[in-house]
């Protein structure tokens, strides 16, 4: 059985290999940036844990 750390390392590696940027912000808190391409994203500010904010029309 894999440990949590091993599973996390596997996920981070897969994200990085897929072109995502993964930055550790704090212990067990990560910022993941995914490039989705160009398109109009609109504005969204959810304000809830786990939500995201789209800041321009480049889906990033």
pLDDT at 57 over 60: no
Q: Is the pTM of this model over 0.75?
A: no
List pLDDT tens digits, range 7-32.
889 999 999 999 999 999 998 889 99
pLDDT computed for residue 60 by the predictor: 44
Distances (CA, A) of 9 to 14, 43, 59: 9, 32, 26
Q: Which of 52, 59, 11 is nearest to 35 (CA)?
A: 59
% of the chain residues with pLDDT over 70 = 62
Domain, as residue range, for 28: 4-59
CA 55 from centroid of its chain's CA atoms: 15
pLDDT computed for residue 16 by the predictor: 95
Q: What's the number of domains the chain is made of? A: 1
d(CA 54, CA 52): 7
| Mean pLDDT computed over 31-48 | 70
**Beta carbons of 36 and 59 less than 8 angstroms apart:** yes
Mean pLDDT (the chain) is 77
């Amino acid at each position: 059985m894999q440990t949590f750390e091993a599973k996390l390392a596997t996920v981070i590696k897969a994200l990085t290999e897929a072109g995502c940027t993964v930055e550790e912000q704090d212990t067990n808190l990560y910022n993941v940036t995914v490039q989705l391409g160009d398109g109009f994203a609109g504005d969204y500010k959810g304000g809830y844990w786990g939500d995201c904010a789209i800041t321009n029309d480049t889906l990033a």
